[in-house]
Structure 1
């Protein structure tokens, strides 16, 4: 493999890793607050893709306006799911909430099939993102530059929110001890709903960019990206925002490099993510940025 080809794969890996990172942050934020793996997160990603698609293709809105509306609707969807499916079970055993999350995932997938149909739809082409520039013999879509920059900006914005604002202080308090936070006058329900909204909106941002990069949407499109982003969150240390970003980049770059260096294993690309998960759980169960904690019983 020559240098130009290596750089081509590397830029593709960074772009894919950035997408994984965006979606993984949503997983890790919800887990950090509720200690809940929101398995419906990948399907929220899918619904956001459809919202954007219909905004552009059906209603003829400018892409930027359609994207903003889709992100806002997805945030409301996340809050609705939290209110209807998770909040009533907050004091129930963890397994009950986990089953509810799986149920919400199946509900969204089948609802999408009924409402939007089972046939794949072609996402509209947006030239601003899909135009290609050539640098040193490496062909790079403009989107490849935009995704990592957007990911880094969102990362720093979230870190500022969590560490430097009153809302962030409340989020950290709820994550530490829900009952104590409630006794201190924090509106726990509002903070948890806000966290779900932020996580869902991040999934929507990831969905917009995913659809531009891979312009085909279908009702089950959130399954594999959702699982891979969960794996990315675990690799980085689920519950840690910076860890989710690191895990996303590691997984994305590793996948692309696997295809580049071992093209015969291209068909096992998705399986590689699960192999990597097993390795991490064997040698560093808490992830790269995770801390060793003893769970309360």
Structure 2
């Protein structure tokens, strides 16, 4: 039962990484930029949910919806102010800007909410399901997290393949210039992509803090890095790859902590990533694309 318990914990943590990675993979797949401020949008979403329930007396569901709305708007604002002017700039310039935005959000949160950790109350309650005569316990947070991950992945897949906006996103991903010639508004499409990714970050932040109830300005930093690792692991640009990479990363992390070392678990995660990329540079589900010249 101990193994099953670790397995469930790994899938739950991996599902959070997967939801965050989906935001990364959408932005990179369509806009071809790495938004390293994504992890801090997670933190902002968690703080908004915390304030809504702890200070304003709103219900957990309303707090989650508020976090999604705030992070969606924040994502669009960040894209418009920080990234849109750099559309033709080098990748290094965009990367440095993303790091700057990340530090700005962290310091803004530090100024507003302070450095002291906040205790986050789970938005899905503390109910626990007992299985096998009580030997195995599964929390409601775990059930909701895994279900949310599956629903989001399926929803995004259908959205990108069955809707007009999704078709525009895939066209911009393939060739921005050709898409613009076909009448697609590239800037609007990229803004919508950021909005969706940031909304997903809010969901991930709430679920992450529901499972690990300590909230501070740096809460989203390491999960953001690990989720980016998960996106690369699964094949960045691939929606199923982001989910697969996230779940595998969560399993590796939990089992490393349980059976090897809690201090070495992060090192093991990144070592596995290096090995996978040596064997398959495009990630597990990534597809190699030929460069047009």
- What TM-score do the two structures reach when normalised by structure 2? 0.96
Q: Which moved more, 1:226-235 or 1:273-282?
A: 273-282
- Give the distance between the partners of 1:125 and 1:93, measured in 2 at CA: 42
2:25·2:237 contact (CA, 8 Å) conserved in 1?
Answer: yes
Consecutive unaligned residues of structure 1, counting only runs of 5 or more, are none
* Structure-2 residue corresponding to 1:256: 254
* Structure-2 residue corresponding to 1:225: 223
1:13·1:256 contact (CA, 8 Å) conserved in 2?
Answer: yes
Name the Cα RMSD after superposition. Answer: 1.2
Q: Following TM superposition, by how much is the alpha carbon of 1:295 offset from its aligned partner in structure 2, in angstroms?
A: 4.1
- Give the distance between the partners of 2:126 and 2:292, measured in 1 at CA: 49
* Structure-2 residue corresponding to 1:193: 191
2:264 aligned residue (245, 265, 268): 268
Q: Following TM superposition, by how much is the alpha carbon of 1:99 offset from its aligned partner in structure 2, in angstroms?
A: 1.1
* Structure-1 residue corresponding to 2:62: 65
* Structure-1 residue corresponding to 2:48: 51
- Give the distance between the partners of 1:295 and 1:272, measured in 2 at CA: 33
**Residues 1:39 and 1:266: Cα distance change in structure 2 (over 3 Å):** same
* Residues 1:26 and 2:23 are matched in the alignment: yes
* Residues 1:100 and 2:104 are matched in the alignment: no
Q: Following TM superposition, by how much is the alpha carbon of 1:296 offset from its aligned partner in structure 2, in angstroms?
A: 5.1
Consecutive unaligned residues of structure 2, counting only runs of 5 or more, are none
2:50·2:120 contact (CA, 8 Å) conserved in 1?
Answer: yes
- Give the distance between the partners of 1:26 and 1:175, measured in 2 at CA: 15
Deviation per residue, 1:55-97 (Å, 9 max, x gap): 1111111111011011111000000000000000001112111
Q: Following TM superposition, by how much is the alpha carbon of 1:277 offset from its aligned partner in structure 2, in angstroms?
A: 2.0
Moved >3 Å (runs of 4+): 294-297
* Structure-2 residue corresponding to 1:139: 137
